[in-house]
Chain A
């Protein structure tokens, strides 16, 4: 917690020394999310396809949404060892991943087919597309500009 509180003020002190142009570049670098490993992305991609079929749900008509969530799950798999839902905020991520309630597929999804992240959509959802498959290429393309 101490580290988290100190980090932002450190960023401020750094950015105050650089020109406005450099500052915006610097900010961009800070914001850029580390890419999850290709191995984890592939694991979560396959899992998503299998679970969509198993649960009778569909991917979002905008595969960019699907891609972002799959990468988020892969990122958590890399950093926490479990695919914790990337669409929720946790006070303590490792504790939450250990507890398991929000590890994908989360309890609300398993019990009621409720996926707040819009990864698995029931066919009556306005955003549900016709597909239960997504390729690595689609994931790469739709997240290329992030």
Chain B
């Protein structure tokens, strides 16, 4: 089942490995204050920041999660953040998040693109495009 899903997601079997989750570079934020500090420090950097807006009971969020963890191990110069919209509702509101998952790509604090839904290939392409711009 797992490998079948991986093939549907268009990727490597590594998505299935528990290790990919443990090695994940995705940082979860649970307080507005911590998020604001992180976001402010990002504004001065040219690093690509990818924010994954998800929710506990969101099926597609669960489906794409292993792929996001895997991407975070592949794109080591990209900063991956995760925000639960029910925990940090005001941050989700600030970014105009309506459907989950929503991935917002930022450079120097400004949105350059976004991907809505569990669209792994589209997300990967956009990360590749913006990581070195």
A residues apposed to B, CB below 8 Å: 4-5, 8-9, 11-12, 27, 30-31, 33, 60-62, 64-66, 68-69, 71-73, 75, 86-89, 91, 116-119, 126-127, 146
B60 touches A27 (CB 8 A): no
B55 touches A (CB below 8 Å): yes
B residues apposed to A, CB below 8 Å: 1, 4-5, 8, 28, 30-34, 53, 55-63, 84-85, 87-90, 92-93, 97-100, 117-118
Known: A4-B89, A61-B1, A88-B99. A9 touches B31 (CB 8 A): yes
A61 touches B5 (CB 8 A): yes
26 A-B residue pairings within 8 Å (CB atoms): A4-B89, A4-B90, A5-B32, A8-B30, A8-B31, A11-B30, A12-B31, A12-B33, A30-B30, A31-B28, A31-B30, A31-B87, A61-B4, A62-B63, A68-B57, A69-B59, A75-B57, A86-B55, A88-B98, A88-B100, A89-B55, A89-B85, A89-B93, A89-B100, A116-B99, A117-B58
Give the chain B neighbours of A66 by CB distance below 8 A. 59
A117 touches B92 (CB 8 A): no
B84 touches A31 (CB 8 A): yes
Give the chain B neighbours of A119 by CB distance below 8 A. 59
The secondary structure that dominates the B interface is: mixed
- In the assembled complex, the CB of B120 is this many whole angstroms from the nearest CB of chain A, namely 11
CA–CA, A57 and B34, complex, Å: 42
Residue from the list A5, A8, A11, A72 in contact with B58, Cβ < 8 A: A72
B33 touches A5 (CB 8 A): no
- In the assembled complex, the CB of A45 is this many whole angstroms from the nearest CB of chain B, namely 14
**Considering residues B8, B31, B59, B92, which has the most beta carbons from chain A within 10 angstroms of its beta carbon?**
B59
Give the chain A neighbours of B62 by CB distance below 8 A. 64-65, 68
CA–CA, A64 and B97, complex, Å: 24
CA–CA, A31 and B29, complex, Å: 11
Residue from the list B28, B30, B59, B92 in contact with A89, Cβ < 8 A: B92
Give the chain B neighbours of A88 by CB distance below 8 A. 98-100
A89 touches B53 (CB 8 A): yes
B57 touches A89 (CB 8 A): no
Nearest-neighbor residue (CB-CB) of B89 within chain A:
A4
Give the chain A neighbours of B90 by CB distance below 8 A. 4-5
- In the assembled complex, the CB of A75 is this many whole angstroms from the nearest CB of chain B, namely 6
Known: A8-B33, A118-B118. A33 touches B5 (CB 8 A): no
Give the chain A neighbours of B93 by CB distance below 8 A. 89, 91
CA–CA, A70 and B30, complex, Å: 25
Q: Which 4 A-B pairs have the closest CB atoms?
A: A72-B57, A65-B59, A8-B31, A86-B57
